[in-house]
Structure 1
């Protein structure tokens, strides 16, 4: 049994696994609890794949962790999936047999999460994980079981964000990021605005990925596993030239450091409801304007596999809409200017 105690503003986890003492410190109580739970569940201990003989005794908890071990390494969101599995262990029924779980269990979890104010996308991801586990257990482990999670309706997908960085916010944000003790958050944000790279793509970017002569970046490891080339604007080249090249990575910092710096910068700048990913939205919206709304070209830069996703970044400005409306008005009155010729 793990023990958690507060020590100097931190939370220390102490536990014993197989006679070995483990101690680790975290910045929040929630992170400490999640770590303790994952270790006690044997996340770091190898387990064998369930067999048909073990089906009646296989709990949903065991199925989740076995699924994660076998599939997690092949996914981009392995960290997020682990967090969802840990979060699912707040429910007592997770320790029941996979055959004992009913749609009622899944439905009650969905309704409880929504009542707590969790976003529709978060609830959908939790339910999708459960659906995937049951599907994997049937197709890969050969278990003769149903899929109770698939019988429960998911919440409606949330309205896509359309938050853009205002001109007044840009200057305040860059000033605040420039006040960070680490030198990299500010140029990382600047390059994101110029290229539309995702946060993970920025942090994984290496100097060898950049073709300075041609002015392009070759992204080998992307969210959808499809490599792509992204053009560099003149401003992007200037940002890169100002960075030191004392590491293989262009931005040799961790994700947690970047998130913390971002949060502090927003507070200093007095900016609300702005996420790092909104920088990508702003960048692609600007690219869309310069490309004349050509979603096919925009998709090559953004890496989206469907034009529907690229269409989210096509924002016609008010003057363009008024001009188009005037054209349609003239076309509608065209008969007034026609002369009949017999």
Structure 2
């Protein structure tokens, strides 16, 4: 392990079929006004909304309704949420849904008492929360896995006017205070959203895995997480209500992006920058945007990190090395990854996600360049990758 780091994760997790009951233990720690954040209404159809509201009322909480959170929360919606929180004097923001709801809740939490425009401060200037600024605590009840937002400080917001989709990674103060993870709550998710979440998980891991060249414990952990995900995803696609498979996937999603495996790593994140640029233009499902750009990107950078791509092929995909060059082994690893992606039914073509040729220049400009991977991309590299993703 190279470098120096500090590791801290303040989020308390409640995991399992009975985990929602523990909301009764958490709610008394906060004031009476709870801003209830949720998406398009699926939690009302599957009964989760009623269960949560029942517990809130049993704990004598006043509910501030904040529904309609879209898959890519917009800056306009953020402003609406801030207004609701201020008017309702929110003491706790409770996100019930997937990563978008959790991200949005955290963005609202840091913005309510922000004296500046939160988009400008946090997403354009990338400033941190001022030390004296009050942050409204956040809790999560997870109904979709993929983002890891239930145990990290990330909050992604989209600005359609600027054609930008940007994530801000906040510090410990913004992490959810608690998260409730019941794998059964993910059963009713449509297959499209389910498999998009599966790929989001894998890509969170590979973004951190494909960096650094030392013998890092983090890499060994990530290889195990990836193998578990691949195994369980194949079961879940055939049997979406297989509790064991869905529980393993839920747990993997959390550990993929709760900062643990990033320790000692430089980390890449270019696939996310490419995918988020696409999302800003098309509002396509996040995991699918990642799936569409991943293989062209990894094949582009493979020569610069060949040893790690070979290790990925051997340790994650069980590629035989006998009689093969290092390049052949590494290439077969990415071929195996592609076969698995097709097996899940992922969208791997930007045209199918709504990208057109006339968007290319804008997408290139909207793609933030990161420097933690094996190759720092030029704008020409970005354009080449995006074209290969079509």
The two structures have a TM-score, normalised by structure 2, of 0.28
Larger relative contact order (CA 8 Å, sep ≥ 6): 2
Higher alpha-carbon Rg: 1
